[in-house]
Chain A
Amino acid sequence: MTPILEARELVRIYEAREGLFGKVTPVRAVDGVSLSVRPGETLGIVGESGSGKSTLGRMLLGVDPAQGGEVRFDGAPMPERRTPAWRALRARMQMVFQDPLSALDRRLTIADQIREPLDIHRIGTPEERADRVASLMGSVGLRPDQTGRYPHELSGGQRQRVVIARALATDPALLVCDEPVSALDVSIQAQVVNLLRDLQETTGLAMVFISHDLKVVRNLCDRVAVMYLGRIVEEGPAETLFARPQHPYTQALVSSVPVPGRALDSRIILQGEPPNPAARPSGCAFHPRCPMAEPMCRGAVPSLRATAPGRTSACHLVAGAAPATAA
């Protein structure tokens, strides 16, 4: 099956200044990322802050320009940003952010907001749009009597449902979700995760799900890419990647998830600070925090290569094709 979304060697460089008058240094927020998403598939992207996962999400939709590489949507190159062709394509790819309150206009009723993409992309007659809004609200679990409500009158979970309904209004083929459930309470989080799962089953939507919450990613995603300092360090099917992580960073990340009943001291506790994209270490970017680093890790950048069927890993110590003894 041809991928709905394909990214090749994406690069995004920001310019950061050290201090108020310091020198300007280029920061490679996303550094040569390639990935693909098939129709109906969910790709999870996990990583810590500064790993470039949110920047990558925006680049996949063309919202953030790439300095290098290209994004192909449905087999064709992504049109130039802010051109009419790009705007038209945006109806087929939508985004959901972490904070629903700031993503909604507090002066518009929720029905107006869900209808807005239909107005913008001139889809349907006014009557058809009203019907579509009603059916969208139903499919995300909002009650008909809530149409005239304003965002502040809804709970956090209900607001995120409004954002999701609005993103689905134009019947997109791809949804990029950036931490969509992180701001929600556990019981509400499960409602929204189930909603995304059901929507995908009924509409065949492809999703890129960006999150730092490994438990949610494991539950929802088919495949997972782990990012560290702007690069993918490991990729594979969700279940096997979390059950048998290969890259030492993924191992630490999986081990850091607090699980009731597992003792604190059985966890791998990484030394050192979260990585600073402005000061990328030489060689493997993870080597200063890596418990298994060897001299060669300081010198050579490991490339992402196949380690097992459907799995890739960027580590000198992980052998090709079979899991290494280090794992």
Chain B
Amino acid sequence: MTKLVEIRDLRVAFDGVPVLHGIDLDVAPGEALGLVGESGCGKSVTWLAALGLLPEKARVSGSVVLEHRTLSNAPRSELEQVRGGRIAMIFQDPSSALNPVIRVGRQICEALRLHRGLSGKPAQAEALRLMDMVGIPDPRRRFNLYPHEFSGGQCQRLMIAMALAGEPDLLIADEPTTALDATIQAQILDLLATLRRETGMATVFISHDLGAVAQVCERVCVMYAGRIVEAGPVAQLFEAPRHPYTRGLFDAIPRMDGPRTRLVPIDGTVPDPRALPAGCAFAPRCARAQAFCRTERPELLPQTDGRLLACAYPVPAAPAVPQRERVSQ
């Protein structure tokens, strides 16, 4: 498999407190990868660290390679070419990522000037094309409006247009639909899937919403307390999750069909990064944990079915029973 991005042993510490404990992650060209986990698990930090976007106080180690080009410890000028050019990122809150006092057309043109050296009429024409592509109705008339004159969903479309300005090979979407209404969320997910199909760019979709991830991704990594605990193709992971945490996440989500029974929460809370358990970080909340789990930390190892798993006593590889039947048993 050719790799677009190769992350090896990426570690991050804030004020001496490690929050990311060695992430190995590859993104293939054109691939749609999902990163799932609860707040604080390190799913956003992974990519902020990879792109050198973390504040000074963060200590980052490990290597990030983008097609033979090492990004870790690269000089600022080189990183700035990559950011927005090769790898673009969109965030949860689009209205705070846009400059409120600059007209949206000019903001898109600025991205085109920085990443593609376009200016004047050609830049404007390209900006209009991008606005049209992300589904802003009547872009010509709305070119000179300010961000506050757009709704949340349209601001997210504008952010996506700006991200596309540099014709990136990889788009990192960090909770891009979390702040949006359900019907608008559906529109943006649909847009991201369409753009990927049309442009062939790879997408990393960071989200806590397993349902949304299932719909736009091919491969998923589940993270917990700064580590990847399970990774594999979407269908495999969603039909038969084997890490007790992955399984717990599925069981905790209320269903849209079937009986309205009590939910099955994961007991306890996410551990404080300053006081991580000695063994597996999930052991204190895990119903399957044994004495071993409390002292030894399981490695992320490839399984016979092709997935990666970091668990000493995983959920048994169940026979092919649809998930909803297993849950109700």
Contacts and interface: CB of A to CB of B under 8 A. Distances in A.
Task: Count chain A CB atoms within 10 A of each CB in B187, B255, B264, B269 and give the residue with the most.
Answer: B269
Interface of B: 38-39, 151-154, 181-187, 189-190, 193, 208-212, 214-216, 238-239, 248-250, 252-257, 260, 262-267, 269-270, 323
A128 interface: no
Contacts of B38: 185-188
A254 B256 contact: yes
A270 interface: yes
Contacts of B250: 260
A273 B39 CA distance: 29
Contact of A219 (B185, B212, B254): B254
B238 A261 contact: yes
Contact of B215 (A157, A190, A242, A258): A258
B263 A219 contact: yes
A264 B193 contact: yes
A269 B187 contact: yes
B95 to A, nearest CB: 13
A257 B183 contact: no
Contacts of A49: 152, 181
Nearest to B216: A264
Contacts of B39: 185
B255 A215 contact: yes
A243 B257 contact: yes
A262 B184 CA distance: 18
Contact of B182 (A188, A191, A253, A260): A253
Contacts of A11: none
A48 B215 contact: no
Contacts of B215: 258, 260, 262-264
Task: Give the interface centre of B39, B181, B209, B214 by most chain A CB atoms within 10 Å.
Answer: B181
Given A258-B209, A261-B238, A273-B153, A188 B269 contact: yes
Nearest to B40: A185
B189 A264 contact: yes
B269 A157 contact: yes
A189 interface: yes
A258 B214 contact: yes
Given A186-B38, A194-B263, A256 B182 contact: yes
B190 A264 contact: yes
A193 B263 contact: yes
B190 A186 contact: no
Given A48-B182, A260-B211, A274-B151, A215 B265 contact: no
B183 A194 contact: no
A259 interface: yes
Given A186-B210, A259-B211, A269-B187, 6 more contacts: A48-B181, A48-B182, A193-B263, A243-B257, A255-B186, A258-B212
Contacts of B212: 258
A188 to B, nearest CB: 7
